Chains A and B, each alone.
Chain A
Amino acid sequence: MAVKVSLRANRLACERDDRWLFRSLDLRVEDGHILRIEGANGSGKTTLLKLLTGQLPPTEGRIEWHGEPLAASREAFLSQLLYVGHAPGVSAALTAQENLAWAAAMAGVRAPDLDLERALEAVGLAGFEDIPARQLSAGQQRRVALARLELIPRPLWILDEPFTAIDREGVAWLEQRLLAHGDAGGAVVMTTHHTFHANGRVDSLLLGEAA
């Protein structure tokens, strides 16, 4: 079976405002990996995700996708990536279903209404399809964003604080979903302080220790 995910970072360093966030960071994400990035506030977790998604160039070091520099294989990389950022990417003026339909279109995936409804149902938003997102709570908006995980089939998930704002049931569901994705051969990179029940399954990377 072909390898779907192969993301490597070699001797990565990032400087922000004359301060080294991290130096000589090595990282490897492959099929089945679930990587949790931990660290104090301001230790560069989100910045690291931005580097890994190619949004920011690293100060030093290189990032490779299937052995090629990330910048050179950008399109191939993005067509395998599902990213849920700190802001959920949910427009307040649109309904849950319209938001999800647009997100699918941006990912380049056709999403029939039935699939949209099924994805929203999976995140516990059945019956909320036609409610404008501005009337949904913060947790529900986050669930709309997380419905992308159900809808858009991508091997590599990069998630920034996916557990924020969702309730206990939602956390349990998301945890299951992440582990299932890993078991199915997908890979997850996320920043979170959440402790998994099946913690042995999750690799951790602690930022902010290095000088």
Chain B
Amino acid sequence: MSANSGGSTILRGEVIGLWGGCVAQVRRELKIARRRGGDLVNPLMFLALVVMLFPLGISPEPALLASVAPGLLWVAALLAMLLSLDGLFRGDYEDGSLEQMLLSPLPLPVLCLAKVFVHWLLTGLPLALCAPLLGVLLALPGAGYLALLLSLALGTATLSLIGAIGAALTVGLPRGGVLLSLLVLPLYIPVLIFGAGAVKAAIEGGMAGPALALLGALLALAVAAAPFAIAGGLRISLNG
């Protein structure tokens, strides 16, 4: 038997590691999302509607649309991400699951990272995959499609992570949605600039590489730092 210093394990059940906890968290999120079906389609519908309205509102002229398409697709995708964030922690907050996460011996930032990963997988990645299809509606030049897909795939992951900080800070507030947007939007600006920049560069025959690399760097920074901010935000929200 192991020495029992200061209350080490006396568990009869086998202990699972951090990895086991993450896997359980990811599976739970996927199951909840599957049963709530509708929430998955909402961001995609939003993106499609916005993109469809622009040719009607501005001008159906392909040359004009092509010049604004990169920025437009990126802004619409960014807003779609923002809309999906409000509910990220709300359900867990209301039913007490969040409290259980906070009192888990597993590190909270890692559990949060698992949760945000699923959010990106079910929101950001579908947006990145659908955006090129909608690019056709805006007469996006052929050179831009790959850059659009890659920049959105990288960028939406950063948006998920940054947005989750805002969602964590506002989860306890009755109408946190507006505050969430105000908190998060300024932090989204660099991602938008480099994301739309990558697509524009690809269209104009330049290199999308540098802008994509910067998006990657932003993502690396967000993965390293955001989980701790999210965990801190949740602790403040639950006990403030």
Complex: chain B residue closest to A111, CB-CB: B13
Number of residues of chain B lying within 8 A (CB) of chain A: 41
Contact flag A110-B13 (CB < 8 Å), given A94-B28, A102-B24:
yes
Are B31's CB and A108's CB within 8 A? no
| A198: Cβ under 8 A from any B Cβ | no
Contact with A along B2-32 (1 / 0, CB 8 A): 0010111111111111001101110010011
Tell me the complex Cα distance, A140–B10, Å: 30
| A55: Cβ under 8 A from any B Cβ | yes
Enumerate chain B residues within 8 angstroms of A131, measured Cβ to Cβ.
Answer: none
Contact flag A73-B6 (CB < 8 Å), given A86-B96, A153-B12:
yes
Contact with B along A21-42 (1 / 0, CB 8 A): 0000000000000000000000
Contact flag A65-B7 (CB < 8 Å), given A86-B96, A87-B94:
yes
Tell me the complex Cα distance, A151–B239, Å: 28
Which one of A76-84, A120-128, A169-177, A199-207 is at the B interface? Answer: A76-84
Interface size range on A against B: 35 or more
Contact flag A153-B6 (CB < 8 Å), given A89-B99, A98-B31, A108-B21:
no
Are B103's CB and A53's CB within 8 A? yes
Complex: chain B residue closest to A78, CB-CB: B105
| A180: Cβ under 8 A from any B Cβ | no
Are A76's CB and B6's CB within 8 A? yes
Question: Which of B9, B96, B111 has the largest number of chain A CB atoms within 10 A?
Answer: B96
Of A66, A107, A110, which one neighbours B104 at CB under 8 angstroms?
A107
Enumerate chain B residues within 8 angstroms of A151, measured Cβ to Cβ.
Answer: 13
Enumerate chain B residues within 8 angstroms of A91, measured Cβ to Cβ.
Answer: 28, 32, 91-92, 95, 97
Are B106's CB and A152's CB within 8 A? no
Are A66's CB and B15's CB within 8 A? no
Are B105's CB and A89's CB within 8 A? no
Enumerate chain B residues within 8 angstroms of A155, measured Cβ to Cβ.
Answer: 7, 10
| B101: Cβ under 8 A from any A Cβ | yes
| B59: Cβ under 8 A from any A Cβ | no
Tell me the complex Cα distance, A5–B4, Å: 12
Mind listing 6 A-B residue pairs with CB under 8 Å? A4-B7, A65-B7, A66-B6, A81-B103, A102-B97, A108-B105
Q: Which residues of B contact A (CB under 8 A)?
A: 4, 6-17, 20-21, 23-25, 28, 31-32, 35-36, 91-92, 94-97, 99-106, 111, 235, 238-239
